[in-house]
Structure 1
Amino acid sequence: GEVGNEKDYIATRVSYALDLMGPSLAVNSACSSALAAVAQAAQALLTGQADMALAGGAALTFPGHGYLYEEGLVNSTDGRVRPFDAAANGTVFGDAAGTVVL
């Protein structure tokens, strides 16, 4: 297999590619991962552990096989999201990624 192809290695791979120094870690806390990463970065700045920090998150579905409703989960029964609507019956997950510099 490929060396360093595990999702948890992304932080160190980015640090290496950008020639960054200092702590490098991956945070995984479900829906709050990006916010937890920003909080960790802010703490490193406040304590003087870092002068600058990159923090972000990504939610990607691989392989993408389409939408599948399963009874008892949070997915919408018809594959549609209706926020603030009385007919709302669940959510549909999407793909996204973002990074901030602190």
Structure 2
Amino acid sequence: MARSLDGLVLVPVADQAPGQVGTRTRFTYHERDGEIWAEYAGGDVVRGHLVGTREGDTLDFRYVQLKGDGTTSSGHCVSTVVDLPDGRVRLEETWEWESQPGNGTSVVEQVTPHEH
């Protein structure tokens, strides 16, 4: 099993649709006994939270976020944890909004210490 995500900071490798999570967004992950949660912010996202579970290399969580325009949105995501050759972690994500139409895939990767 891949190492714990606890304390890791991850960032999207590409921008999503306008007004959503993008390369300026930082996710700070926490993990304990099969539970995962994270806070995220940056770009158009003022504040976001995700909470869910980890079984092996699969994360299953729901997310909620507040955008700069004052709107909120929520959805469901399933991610696969991948160990990169340089020792960092990547999450390959498949997500779907529940509060609005839309779905897609994204990739977030652990930042190196000088990128924080």
Same fold (TM over 0.5): no
TM-score by length of 2: 0.29
> Which of the two has greater strand per residue?
2
> Which of the two has greater helix per residue?
1
Larger radius of gyration: 1
TM-score by length of 1: 0.32
Higher relative contact order (CA 8 A, sep 6+): 1
